Amino acid sequence: ANMGGSSSKPAAPAEGGGCPVMKKKPEEQSDSLCPVKYKNPNVYNVYGQKLDPSNMMPAAAQQMPSPGQKEALPTNRVVSGIAKGGTDSTWVYPSEQMFYNSLKRKGKGSDVKEEDVSMMVAIHNNMNERTWRDLLEWEKLHCATCGDPRLLRFVGMPDDLSPKARLRMLTGQAAPFDRHDWVVDRCGTEVRYIIDYYHDTSMPAGTEAPRQHDLAAKTQIWVDVRPALDSPQALMDRVRMTFMGMVGQQPQAPPDWPTQMPEARGELGPAGGGKAKEWTKAQKAFVDKLSRLDTECSKPMEALAKCNGEEECAKAAMARDLCVAQVHCPKVATAFIAALSSGKGMEGAYEKLLKCGADLAEESNKLFPGQK
């Protein structure tokens, strides 16, 4: 699952007839005389981008076109029906552009065409909504003590098979194509769920993009959701759910639990992002320049990401800045190399080199406003 941000829709409080909500207790003040070690609330990746600590993705939505991209993609985002931990709102899905960028960043987008992304995003969003509904079936076992379970954070683990998936494979069944671990805030208690996603060609296949909240969508995807065996309570829940399935029962909860979901209000629109406006000539030229930077500056970029120590990283940063200048402002790059050779005017030449990079960022902001 690839979600980020949150919507501004407040969650409806439970009515008197619903399950009571276990209120979180205020943190007690420590009597220790030792000062608390400061921890900066901001987290950054190797490119200096602030990360959202709930999923370790850049906090600023990455909406710029990817190097090598041929067509514009929609940048609008869709509100999910998944309650977001730590807020009174829901998670927001990535736009088609963000989804495409994520595939490229993970090295999975080489064979993906821009016209395919709309269907991929629709399936992705629908799959996550179904996952959340299946997860809530387990949470119903605790509706008497928590009326508002929320997804706190998540992580994709496609290369880490779960024990259950390994066992299925030993019996000759197919491996899952993806795995997620979701951590749910059960009114103050963090509970980890394991989700395996399987292709099932025996299921009917649809020809149109699934609607976001259509739980019966024909996507040929089977979702296996269960609590991780991290506690005795999780084991008890698995035993209870297995027994209830054997006798034909399902967990029960009041109709207003946990909160009214979007499909109950008739919000069943498509999950895609519509049609994007075509690029201007200047925008197309800039994307082509990004492609050159991606190709010609890949080695210094990689060296900067892997450097160790102040001196090594300073050299790597200078090599990166020089490469960017050779593509974006070659005269400045030539002047810097000359200053480097002669040993004269180095400081001024490097300042111009840095300004070249700043000018590139400024041009990006002008051509693609609001798409950082």
Residues 221-253: tens digit of each pLDDT: 999 999 999 999 999 999 999 999 999 999 998
Q: What residues are paired with 223 via a beta bridge?
A: 197
C-alpha span between 171 and 117 (Å, rounded): 35
Question: 4 pLDDT band (50/70/90 cuts)?
Answer: low
Q: What is the pLDDT of residue 209?
A: 82
At position 158, the amino acid (one-letter code) is: P
Backbone angles phi, psi at 10, to 5 degrees: -70, 145
C-alpha span between 4 and 50 (Å, rounded): 13
DSSP reduced 3-state for 3: coil
Q: pLDDT higher for 1 or 132?
A: 132
The predicted-structure confidence for 314-324, as pLDDT tens digits, reads as follows 899 999 999 99
Question: Residue ranges per domain, the chain?
Answer: 44-247, 281-368
| Angle subtended by helix axes 310-328 and 330-342, to nearest 10 | 140
* CA-wise closest residue to 361 among 5, 6, 60: 60
Are 124 and 93 in contact, with CB atoms under 8 Å apart?
yes
Tell me the pLDDT of the chain averaged across its residues: 80
Q: Is 56 left (phi over 0), alpha (psi -120 to 50) or beta?
A: left
Q: What is the pLDDT of residue 323?
A: 92
Residue 274 has pLDDT above 90, yes or no: no
Q: What is the pLDDT of residue 44?
A: 42
> Which pTM was predicted?
0.69
The predicted-structure confidence for 38-97, as pLDDT tens digits, reads as follows 333 444 433 344 556 665 555 555 788 888 888 889 888 888 889 888 877 888 888 899
Q: Cα dist. 319→54, 105, 302, 337 in Å?
A: 33, 22, 11, 11
Containing 318, the helix (H) or strand (E) segment is helix 310-328
The predicted-structure confidence for 103-131, as pLDDT tens digits, reads as follows 888 888 778 888 889 888 999 999 999 99
C-alpha span between 11 and 258 (Å, rounded): 9
Q: What is the pLDDT of residue 201?
A: 82
Cis before residue 258, ω within 30 degrees of 0?
yes
Contacts of 5 by beta carbon, 8 Å cutoff, 6+ apart: 52, 61, 77, 91, 92
Are 136 and 259 in contact, with CB atoms under 8 Å apart?
no
* CA-wise closest residue to 357 among 318, 306, 299: 318
Alpha helices in the chain (DSSP H): 96-105, 117-139, 163-170, 232-246, 281-296, 298-306, 310-328, 330-342, 346-367
C-alpha span between 89 and 79 (Å, rounded): 10
% of the chain residues with pLDDT over 90: 33
Q: What is the pLDDT of residue 200?
A: 85
